[in-house]
Chain A
Amino acid sequence: AQKITQTQPGMFVQEKEAVTLDCTYDTSDPSYGLFWYKQPSSGEMIFLIYQGSYDQQNATEGRYSLNFQKARKSANLVISASQLGDSAMYFCAMRGINFGNEKLTFGTGTRLTIIP
């Protein structure tokens, strides 16, 4: 079984500051993938970034980076230079990568509010 824990229900951050959203996970799968999704008030889940358990380097996508610490089973999302449009719910998720094991398991999310 897989489990995702997000311990920050809500965060308030000043515009243009960097923010770190915490995520820890637990799994017995030897190989897995970690994801971050953004969910604005409209409801659609928007893919942000992916990290494979076998990747040696931390993933980056524009202003998003994933701080992956495998031994600690953590996959924190870092948003640099936050913008007002970053205000949303953020979900950490994971899944296996082998055939038949790709359903996503999500955490409970963190509501991020960017303050002008």
Chain B
Amino acid sequence: DTGVSQDPRHKITKRGQNVTFRCDPISEHNRLYWYRQTLGQGPEFLTYFQNEAQLEKSRLLSDRFSAERPKGSFSTLEIQRTEQGDSAMYLCASSLMTGGFSYNEQFFGPGTRLTVL
């Protein structure tokens, strides 16, 4: 399977603990996006990368959140000192940006469901 993969699929943690999620995009895709989806809502943008460069961060991404894409391939999203409000589905997506114009749709992974107790 050559789609977007995410690990773990589910994570239960206690408030105050740190958690890290991993996303492996489609291999030739240079763009990688992180979204967060809370219950009953659509996904909300968190941040995205062009290769290894982080190009934009949402205001939703507080100082407790950090994302990296060290070699322009997989990405990690870390949440420090988790809070109950961090409970959500964290979705990763990738796309191919060519030139200065992007039609290409974003392909999503299965998500990581985080529960903070």
**Chain B, 41-67, CB within 8 A of any chain A CB:** 41-45, 48, 55-56
**Given A43-B89, A43-B110, A44-B108: A104 touches B43 (CB 8 Å cut-off):** yes
Q: Which residues of A contact B (CB under 8 A)?
A: 4, 33, 35, 37, 42-47, 50, 52, 91, 93, 97-100, 102-109
Question: Given A100-B56, A103-B48, A104-B35, A45–B97 Cβ distance below 8 Å?
Answer: no
Contacting pair A52 B44 (CB below 8 A):
no
Are B40 and A45 in contact, CB atoms less than 8 angstroms apart?
no
A52 to B105, CA, bound (A): 11
- The complex places the Cα of A104 from the Cα of B95 at a distance, in Å, of 12
CA distance A35 to B100 in the complex (A): 20
Complex Cα–Cα for A91 and B105 (A): 14
A4: chain B residues at CB < 8 Å are: 42
